[in-house]
């Protein structure tokens, strides 16, 4: 109840207001007495607000009526993360889910908050005692901490230029999101090796899939990139149905590109005997025949991945791809 009042006052004050900072600081003090409760409350609320963007989707998340709530709750996460009050071991999939949706979004301050959240989460993993991580995992975490502090990652998070994001509205490229996603995935997989029956990846994949199959121009392409590391033929068929619908309207090349990139990332995970391997060859050829400049790179990448996969399966010892 108290935390709800804090968040309500913050939203009333608006993004960037002193009220947000005061209430967030107070929430940190509240969390010191009950980390699990406060962390679960703030993270859960942010995830629910992000879910609501699917009801009335917008081309960009910043244009959505829920954006102020999202930005303010993200600020709460950052403030809590400074004091290791996010109960990271319990909430890592949800935190990474939120990060991939918020990276390079909003004002310069918002983008810096998202980057800072990642840095603090990794630091929390480095210093936590429960679960306890092996020396090898600690090494991966330290390397990741250094990596996310490089200028390259500042650029990926949209905070390399010191100017107002109001005049610097470059959108996150899918290639950049791939780099960020793979870096986060490496962290998660390293930690999971030290935790028996850990379901972090399954949870993150489930969160991403719920958006990957739902029309939401701001978030669906991002969810497709994050899709996961396990796949079935039915999943691919569902993605191909979405691709067909997107081609029918042909008014969102970002979604088309995301679908092609998603198929490229997932094909190596398909069972070797799947008939979809051969079908994806023709999907790649069809993408290239669209004669859309923005899709050439992703189309070629899908074709290259497909040919490598088919070759490894001995397909070209036969005569055709029929």
Q: Is the pLDDT of residue 163 over 80?
A: no
- Indicate the pLDDT class of residue 13, thresholds 50, 70 and 90: low
d(CA 64, CA 56) in angstroms, rounded, equals 8
d(CA 98, CA 286) in angstroms, rounded, equals 34
Q: Is the pLDDT of residue 166 over 50?
A: no
218-237 confidence digits (pLDDT tens): 999 999 999 877 789 999 99
Of residues 51, 47, 34, 33, the one with CA closest to residue 77: 47
pLDDT of residue 23: 73
Q: Is the pLDDT of residue 162 over 50?
A: no
d(CA 84, CA 155) in angstroms, rounded, equals 26
Average pLDDT of every residue of the chain: 88
Please tell me whether the overall predicted TM-score, pTM, comes out greater than 0.75 for this model. yes
- Indicate the pLDDT class of residue 87, thresholds 50, 70 and 90: confident
Q: Is 105 left (phi over 0), alpha (psi -120 to 50) or beta?
A: beta
pLDDT of residue 251: 85
Q: In the predicted model, what is the mean pLDDT of residues 168-185?
A: 85
Is the distance from CB of 73 to CB of 7 less than 8 angstroms?
Answer: yes
At residue 166, the 3 state secondary structure works out as helix
pLDDT of residue 20: 74
Q: Is the pLDDT of residue 69 over 80?
A: yes
Can you give the residue ranges of every domain in the chain? Answer: 2-217, 231-322
Q: Give 111's contacts (C-beta < 8 A, 6+ positions apart).
A: 103, 104, 105, 157, 158, 159, 165
């Amino acid at each position: 109840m108290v935390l709800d009042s804090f968040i309500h006052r913050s939203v009333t004050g608006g993004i960037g207001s002193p009220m947000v900072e005061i209430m967030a600081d107070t929430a940190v003090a509240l969390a010191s007495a009950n980390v699990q409760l406060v962390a679960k409350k703030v993270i859960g609320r942010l995830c629910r607000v992000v879910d609501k963007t699917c009801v009335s989707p917008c081309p960009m998340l910043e244009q959505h009526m829920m954006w102020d709530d999202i930005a303010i709750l993200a600020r709460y996460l950052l403030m809590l993360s400074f004091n290791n009050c996010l109960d990271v071991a319990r909430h890592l999939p949800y935190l990474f889910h939120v990060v991939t949706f918020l990276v390079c979004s909003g004002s310069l301050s918002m983008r810096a908050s998202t980057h800072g959240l990642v840095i603090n989460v990794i630091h929390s993993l480095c210093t936590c005692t429960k679960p306890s991580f092996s020396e090898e995992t600690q090494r991966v975490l330290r390397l990741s901490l250094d990596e996310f502090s490089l200028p390259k990652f500042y650029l990926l998070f949209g905070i390399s230029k010191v100017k107002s994001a109001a005049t610097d509205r470059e959108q996150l490229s899918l290639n950049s999101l791939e780099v960020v996603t793979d870096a986060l995935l490496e962290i998660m997989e390293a930690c999971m090796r030290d935790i028996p029956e850990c379901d972090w990846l399954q949870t993150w994949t489930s969160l991403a899939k719920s958006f990957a199959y739902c029309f939401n121009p701001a978030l669906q392409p991002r969810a497709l990139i994050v899709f996961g590391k396990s796949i079935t033929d039915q999943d691919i068929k569902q993605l191909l149905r979405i691709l067909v619908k997107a081609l029918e309207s042909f008014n969102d090349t970002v979604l088309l590109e995301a679908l092609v990139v998603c198929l490229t990332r997932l094909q190596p995970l398909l069972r070797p005997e799947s008939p979809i391997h051969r079908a994806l060859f023709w999907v790649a050829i069809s993408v290239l025949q669209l004669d859309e400049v923005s899709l050439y790179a992703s189309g070629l990448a899908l074709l290259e991945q497909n040919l490598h996969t088919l070759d490894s399966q001995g397909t070209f010892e036969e005569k055709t791809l029929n």
